[in-house]
Amino acid sequence: MKTQARNSGAAKRGVRAAVLWQRISGRRGTGKLDHGRIARVAMQLADRGGLEELSMRNLAERLDAGTMSLYRYVRDKDDLKDLILDAAFGEIPVPERVSRNWRRDVAKVIVATRRVMLAHPWLASIAASRPALGPNYLRWVEFLLASTKAPNRGMKTQLRMIGTVWAFVSGSVAYEVGERANQRRRTETERERRKRTGPYLAEMVRSGDFPCLGEYLRGPEHEPGDEDFQFGLRVVLNGLAVSRGV
């Protein structure tokens, strides 16, 4: 995931800042509204019903505030996405300093990142579609940059390393979240599904064209979990460690 922090710049005097974090810097809430509470309630809405549930109207109702009052804090749904994106990254524990083992440092943060992404199924989607500029995200990426820094390793290589690990964790989480959603939408039990699809798959295996598939189907059902993620992460980090140029 690529940060655009270098492009944010400072807002010119007299010009309304385009970046949310510039607009809310040092601003205090009034009464029962502030950006922290808005972010918390917005996350609850997204956790419960997905991003489709997250709207200015729904949020205003949950906050027991007028929609126009809410617009004084956030311009639109994109602002809401930016708020909850950074609030979620704020739930990822990041060590205060790096150690001498970059693989251990990266693994620790990425495992924690996966845990937060699974807790908030909408996070992977927003992270892939919104420029991350909030302070919690910047703290996260700063640690990864610091942990992968080495005397003979340039910034381009560091970004490639972080991008590779991010692609792995976001892809893994997207698959797990998708599987959970599919299970919730199913109108038949697992036993009913196997009974319905079994004859077709058995026929395909008997053709002799799919011997490996047949071996897989004869084994137990397997859903992706923590051990699978840990295995994949070790492979990715070990692969980076032996790659030329890293």
Which domains does the chain show, CATH number per domain? 17-89 (1.10.10.60), 102-242 (1.10.357.10)
- Verdict on whether the full-model pTM lies above 0.85: no
Distances (CA, A) of 175 to 30, 84, 95, 118, 167: 41, 22, 28, 11, 12
- Alpha-carbon span 117 to 106, nearest angstrom: 16
Tens-digit pLDDT string for the chain (246 aa): 544 444 434 434 434 567 899 888 766 656 678 999 999 999 999 999 999 999 999 999 999 998 898 998 999 999 999 999 999 999 999 999 999 899 999 999 999 999 999 999 999 989 988 888 999 999 999 999 999 999 989 999 999 999 999 999 999 999 898 888 777 777 777 778 778 888 999 999 999 999 999 998 888 877 778 999 999 999 999 999 998 666
- pLDDT score for 224: 78
- pLDDT score for 163: 96
Q: Which amino acid is at 168?
A: F
- pLDDT score for 16: 53
Instruction: Give the H or E element holding residue 26.
Output: none
- Alpha-carbon span 236 to 63, nearest angstrom: 43
70 within 8 A of 32, measured Cβ to Cβ: no
- pLDDT score for 11: 37
- Alpha-carbon span 87 to 40, nearest angstrom: 8
- pLDDT score for 30: 61
- pLDDT score for 28: 65
